[in-house]
Amino acid sequence: MMPFDEVFPTHFNTLSRNPFPHVLIEQALLQLGGGGIEGSKFAKQTLTAAGWRHASVVSYGKYPEEAATAFNKIRLVLADDPNAEQLMQRLAVA
């Protein structure tokens, strides 16, 4: 898996033509979780395991510091190219 740039709180309230790292991380989680509905469930579970405490209807921009922290935890674990199960195990101890 490709390394991801650091996620900053400002990313959640800024528009850009290029996708921010959190968007790329979410896409990687969707793929790692199998795509479709299962991929979406996995991405949500992963964000929860990384510390995102809010419902999926709450935008990351409402709590940008928390969102950046959660995505950066995931980013660090993804750098080791884990499978879905390893990712969840590593986040549990991170």
Q: Provide the whole-model pTM.
A: 0.92
Structure tokens at 25: 């991380």
**What integer pLDDT is reported at residue 57 of this predicted model?**
84
> Cβ distance 6 to 79 under 8 Å?
no
Structure tokens at 77: 């674990």
**What integer pLDDT is reported at residue 82 of this predicted model?**
85
> Cβ distance 12 to 22 under 8 Å?
yes
Give mean pLDDT in consecutive 10-residue pieces for the chain, a chain of 94 residues.
Answer: 86 94 96 95 96 92 97 93 91 85
CA gap 65, 90 in Å, rounded: 21
**What integer pLDDT is reported at residue 88 of this predicted model?**
93
**What integer pLDDT is reported at residue 2 of this predicted model?**
54
